[in-house]
Every structure is written in C-alpha cells, then in structure tokens.
Amino acid sequence: MIPALLFLALAADYPQATISNGAVTAKIMLPDAEKGSYRGTRFDWSGIISSLTYKDHEYFGQWYPKHDPKIHDAITGPVEEFLSNDAGLGYAEAKPGEVFIRIGVGAVRKPDEKAYRRFETYEIVDPGDRTLHHGKDWIEFGHKIYAAGYGYEYRKRIRLERSGFTIEHVLKNTGTKTIDTVVYNHNFFVIDNEVVGPDMAIRFAWTPIPDKPFQNGGEILGQEVRYTKELKAGETVSADLSGFGAYDVRIENRKALAGVRITGDQPLSKLYFWSIRTVACPEPYVHLVIAPISTIKWQIRYVVYTIKGD
C-alpha cells in the first residue's frame, strides 16, 4: 500500500512521485528507461523535481518550449551533470563502438566521432540497476553499473526540511579505475513562472568576476548579477565567474516576493552562470576524485523563503 503523502502517478504518461512535510511539497519525476520523462544522456536521471511549493509559491516548472524525453535539456529542477575532461567517464579510452559511462545514466556507446558532443543523446547500451526507496517526506534513488573497468554504486536522497530540502549524495567506486569527475547542478529555478529581468537578482557570498562582458542588459553590481531590462526570447546572459569563495548563492525574484538560498559542503572548482528569458541558473561545480573501493559523500542544501514587499 502506497502512503497517502507519497503516491505514484502518471503525469502526461510519465511516472512521478509526490512527497510532502506539510509546509513543502515536491513532485519528482522517476527514472525509467522505457517511460521516464527524461531519457537523455546528459543529466543524472535521479532527483528531477518538476514542482516544489512553499507558502503558495512555486519554485520549479517547465522553462523550455517543447518537451521530448530525448532532448538533452528538456528537464526541470535541480539537475546534475557529471563530466570527466569535459566528456563522459572513460570516453577518451573507448574506441568507436565501445562504451563509456554517463554517471547517473548508464553505459552508452561511443560512435565514430571527432569529439564528445555534450548535448547529443547517445545510445544507451546498459541503463544499470536502479532502486527506489521513500518515506512521506523523503525519497532515495540508487544506481549501480560496471563497464570498461569503471563501476559505482550511487545513492541520491532528497529530504524535505521545514523551509526547503537537502540533496544528499553517496558515490562508491566499485570499479578498478579511479573516478575523476566534476559535477555541477544546473539549478533550473522558475519562481512563480516570472521572467528574467530587473525584478531578479542572483547574489553570491563573494564578488563575481565574469570572464567576458555581460550582454543583453546583464551586469555585476557588487556581489549580485542584475538586469537592466527584461530578457527577450533568444537573448542570453552568461559567463564563467571567478573570484569565488563559499558555495553559497541566492536567487531572488522581487516581483514574486520569493527566493532560494543554495549552499554546498564541498569547495567550488568552477561557477558558470547562464540565463535566458525563462530561467537564471548559477551552476556550481565541485571536483570529485574517488579511488577504487573508496566512497565520497556530499550534499547541497536549498532554503526557500519569502521576501517582504516594499
């Protein structure tokens, strides 16, 4: 029997789960190689939040124009991508026709190509083995796979808190080769479906230094990214940001009177910032090196809050 506060359903024919602690309610899309809402090979399939509500505010939603499970970024919520030398794990070693690993996805086939195509959806040869466990206010995804000398057991738990949630990760290396990877969270927050413009501010705990001048009305004001105008369709404000210190950033929309603070327990190795009309995304990277038979744990905490009006 499925608990009343966590039920499995089909949203647009895609399996999902809902968890709640009374104050925070989250809808989470479930990994499924046949029916899942996301079957691309860029992002980890686990922990995709399609909706999170708190005090009558919505923090996630569809920011892209068309949904197709095989499109690399047709995905919502705080989603993560793992990269090794800007490619998949074992990509450089694999010959055409052999497999490499996309952590959180499975083993995929390397075609005859000149270079890794990050936004391509590769053929999945082995999706690995997955588990799912849950309570009324938490859900945990498990994934394990072994291919070409690389192997892991991976657990990701989303745990709701009084005003937000925490993502807890555990990655154990079960292969014979070291896992050397960076992982970042794209943080596709869409607060109350408001567009990106002067009402939005992205605030860091340090002074960001862009590697190139912002365009389309984006600017750095002290420790914030701000906008002088509402972004139009097709306009982008993006840059690599240096000068970083703590893994600590806020996204606020002063029209919606809501925001989120994101903190992590690992040092940053990089921070990329990307925004379009429908979403503004700070992307914090952390570097992980896991020797065989070793395990690493890390977590990201999200505190959602409301803002007092003028």
- Give the whole-angstrom CA distance, residue 60 versus residue 51: 5
pLDDT at 7: 36
- Give the whole-angstrom CA distance, residue 283 versus residue 137: 26
Q: Six-digit token pair at 128?
A: 């690995």
| Span 186-227, pLDDT tens digits | 999 999 999 999 999 999 999 999 999 999 999 999 999 999
- Give the whole-angstrom CA distance, residue 191 versus residue 53: 10
Residues 6+ apart with CB under 8 A from 71: 40, 64, 121
pLDDT exceeds cutoff 50 at 17: yes
The radius of gyration of the chain's CA atoms, rounded to the nearest angstrom, is: 19
Q: Both ends of the chain: CA-CA distance in Å?
A: 48
pLDDT exceeds cutoff 90 at 284: yes
| Span 66-123, pLDDT tens digits | 999 999 999 999 999 999 999 999 999 999 999 999 999 999 999 999 999 999 999 9
pLDDT exceeds cutoff 70 at 6: no
pLDDT at 310: 61
> What percent of the chain has pLDDT above 70?
95
Average predicted confidence (pLDDT) for the chain: 94
| Span 228-268, pLDDT tens digits | 999 999 999 999 999 999 999 999 999 999 999 999 999 99
pLDDT exceeds cutoff 60 at 276: yes
Mean pLDDT of 56-70: 95
Mean pLDDT of 123-140: 97
pLDDT at 4: 33
pLDDT at 230: 97
pLDDT at 5: 35
pLDDT at 12: 58
Contacts 24+ apart (CB under 8 A), 104-112: 104/43, 104/44, 104/45, 104/46, 104/80, 104/143, 104/154, 105/41, 105/43, 105/44, 105/45, 106/145, 107/145, 107/147, 107/148, 108/41
pLDDT at 245: 93
Q: Is 215 exposed, middle or buried (0-12, 13-18, 19+ CB in 10 A)?
A: exposed
Mean pLDDT of 172-194: 97
pLDDT at 13: 80
| Span 31-48, pLDDT tens digits | 999 999 999 999 999 999
